Chains A and B, each alone.
Chain A
Amino acid sequence: MSSDRVLIHAYGVLERRTGLPEWSPGIAGAPVHAVDIDPYLAITSVLPYEEFEPAAWERHADDGPWLGSIATAHHRVLQAAITAGDVVPFRLPSLYGGVDALRDAVNGQAAQISQAMERISDRVEWAVKVYRTDESGEADEESGSARTGRDYLVARSREQQARAEADTLVHDRARACYDRIGEICVGAVRNAPQDPVLSGRREPMVLNAAFLVDRAGQADFRGLVDEIAQGPMSEGLSVEASGPWPAYNFASMPRADSRADSA
């Protein structure tokens, strides 16, 4: 049984004075509309209730393709929006019973949204991931060629020590890269490194960072990352940047791990 009951999905809000981009279709192919909620424009799509109600989310809780398609469409719309102006992205799920419910919700969070808008104004997010590329197996050979049990233990312990030292060095280097990049950014956060299974990369990820960058400073940002990636600072590491992203990591409350307390 289907009804014509609907839900409003909100991608995020734009400053009202922002020019609007040409929207491509949003979630489930639905058209994208800007709804005026003073002082913002909420970016929305109208979705069929049955397919997106809370029970549907529960039903699809372990359904990668379903959530993946929503996440992708949500992101695409926001990505188009940041070409036009500053956007405060909303976290998924972001569904409302109707325009009035959305308006109440936005008005109810007005302070948080306006702080976020101020923080990200004229800025975008860039991501930097650092992978470890220095893995070596020399130590194993050493213990493999040991003749006695005692030799083995000594070699083993040396090996462990060398490994620990290498680990420390790698993490210190990654940290130094993060700190150095953070110096030219407005904000910086470190997220949990992605598991190789999820990243699809064999090398272990040692840094998964996001930076808030002035729009005008993006060339400098890229230049610095490039310099670091090719310089001695990142020896044994692979440094990769991506962006510009909507400021997903900087739209909610500021995180503790900003440059200020990076000591």
Chain B
Amino acid sequence: MAGVQLRVDASRRLQGGLGMSVATTTASSDVALVDLLDRVIGGGVVVSGDIVIGIADVDLIYLGLRLVLAPAHEVEESVGLTRGRTP
């Protein structure tokens, strides 16, 4: 089963406690890479500085990245993020 396996353990955990059948997770406890990229590349304010102009087409980078993500089961290990360093 392909898919983005990368999970990031981020800062703080909110206690769920509400649901039984509902998976009410929190952004900070368990974040999939695709969710992260959707937000940090797809969202936020664009503030152009001198250097940014040189980075021509963010969409292309993103597109390329999505293609790479498809067989991403190896990604987890190669990204240093899940390697033991707790936030």
| Nearest CB in chain A: distance from B30 CB, A | 8
Complex: A139 Cα to B52 Cα, angstroms: 54
- Of chain B, the residue at the smallest CB distance from A109 is B47
Q: Is B84 an interface residue (CB 8 A)?
A: no
Q: Is the CB of B49 within 8 A of A102?
A: yes
Q: Is A64 an interface residue (CB 8 A)?
A: yes
Interface string of A11-22 (1 = CB under 8 A from B): 010000000000
Q: Is A184 an interface residue (CB 8 A)?
A: no
Given contacts A230-B19, A244-B26, contact A75 B61 (CB under 8 A): no
Q: Is the CB of A200 within 8 A of B5?
A: yes
Tell me the A residues contacting B by CB distance below 8 Å.
7, 10, 12, 24, 53-54, 57-58, 61-65, 67-69, 71-72, 74-76, 79-80, 83, 88-97, 101-102, 104-106, 108-109, 112-113, 116, 127, 191, 194, 196-202, 222-223, 225-226, 229-230, 238-246, 248-249, 251-252
| Nearest CB in chain B: distance from A28 CB, A | 10
Q: Is the CB of B27 within 8 A of A242?
A: yes
Q: Which 8 pairs, one residue from A and one from B, show the smallest C-beta to C-beta distance? A: A200-B3, A248-B43, A54-B54, A91-B44, A96-B49, A248-B39, A105-B49, A229-B22
Chain A residues whose C-beta falls within 8 Å of the C-beta of B6 in the assembled complex = 68
- On chain B, which size bracket covers the interface? 35 or more
5 contacts between A and B (CB under 8 A): A61-B65, A63-B65, A64-B79, A225-B22, A245-B39
- Of chain B, the residue at the smallest CB distance from A252 is B45
| Known contacts A68-B6, A109-B46; 5 further A-B pairs (Cβ under 8 A) | A68-B79, A105-B47, A113-B47, A197-B2, A242-B26
Most B CB contacts (10 A, CB to CB) among A53, A61, A191, A239 go to A61
Partner of B43, one of A53, A64, A65, A252: A252
Within 8 A of A (CB), among B26-46: 26-28, 31-46
Q: Is the CB of A94 within 8 A of B65?
A: no
Q: Is the CB of A101 within 8 A of B55?
A: no
Given contacts A65-B79, A196-B3, contact A89 B43 (CB under 8 A): yes
Interface string of B40-75 (1 = CB under 8 A from A): 111111111111101110101100111111101001
Chain A residues whose C-beta falls within 8 Å of the C-beta of B12 in the assembled complex = 79, 83
| Nearest CB in chain A: distance from B76 CB, A | 9
| Nearest CB in chain B: distance from A152 CB, A | 33
Q: Is the CB of A113 within 8 A of B18?
A: no
| Nearest CB in chain B: distance from A128 CB, A | 10
| Nearest CB in chain B: distance from A78 CB, A | 8
